[in-house]
Amino acid sequence: MRGAVVVAGRELRSYFNSPIAYIFMVTFLVACGVFFFFMQGFFAAGQATLRGWFGLMPIMLSVLVPALTMRLWAEEKRQGTYELLLTMPFSEAELVVGKYLAALAVVAAALAASLPLPLMVSLFGIFDAGQIAAQYAGILLLASASVALGQALSSLTKNQMSAFLASVVILVGLNLLAQVGVWLALPPFLAAVVNWVSLQFHFQSFAKGVLDTRDLAYFVVLTAGFLYLTAKNLAFGKWR
């Protein structure tokens, strides 16, 4: 997949040669910090825990990740470089994986920039490094599925705002599905199906620092599925 690495490098330069990556990272850190320390009352709680911080991730990523993915293909179509890109000596899979890796790398950079937070909070309590590692792994898996979904939607439209709004609505909806069982008295089988579809439901074990292989498989399959759909859409686009 050497082509994917080349495409990823191109996209990363595009992100960091414009304000997009920096705005994403600053917005992510500031928004999460404000909600965690002030809206959730971390200092007033009198308890050193990061549960609230990791609990913010599903909704935060649902709103912020689409700002990265909306341009991946919609911008190529708007600028007229979409057809040119498809004629380059890269397979559809390499193009899709390359753009996916670049967007995920920006999210990973934002997560790396947030690492001082658990280090600071650890001054007020005792934390298990393995648990925090599992929690961050869960965020990265959640971001991976969100990026793959956002890229798929971007490949379906020429309008960045349409891609952004559609991604936000679908991601927020997939996260809020976990609350449907709380709001409605669903039959056990239907409640299990709804929970299985929900992103937030599968993230909950990671948020507690528990690595569940079923949740890991869910995020991997979801990511691979949306990447596959995007590649198929590009292949179909060559013949339209």
Q: What is the mean pLDDT of residues 218-227?
A: 95
Rounded to 10°, the helix 129-154/213-237 angle is: 20
Q: How many CB atoms lie within 10 A of CB 13?
A: 11
Half-sphere exposure of 3 (CA within 13 A, CB side): 12
Provide the pLDDT confidence category of residue 158 given band limits of 50, 70 and 90: confident
Residue scoring higher pLDDT (15 or 178): 15
Range of the domain at 103: 2-237
Half-sphere exposure of 13 (CA within 13 A, CB side): 5
pLDDT per position as a tens digit, 29-45:
998 888 877 766 665 55
pLDDT per position as a tens digit, 82-110:
777 777 788 888 899 999 999 999 999 99
Q: Which helix (H) or strand (E) holds 108?
A: helix 92-113
Give the model's pLDDT for residue 97. Answer: 94
Give the model's pLDDT for residue 69. Answer: 93
d(CA 200, CA 59): 9
Comparing C-alpha atoms, which of 115, 94, 110 is closest to residue 24?
Answer: 110
- If one counts the domains in the chain, the total is 1
d(CA 110, CA 133): 15
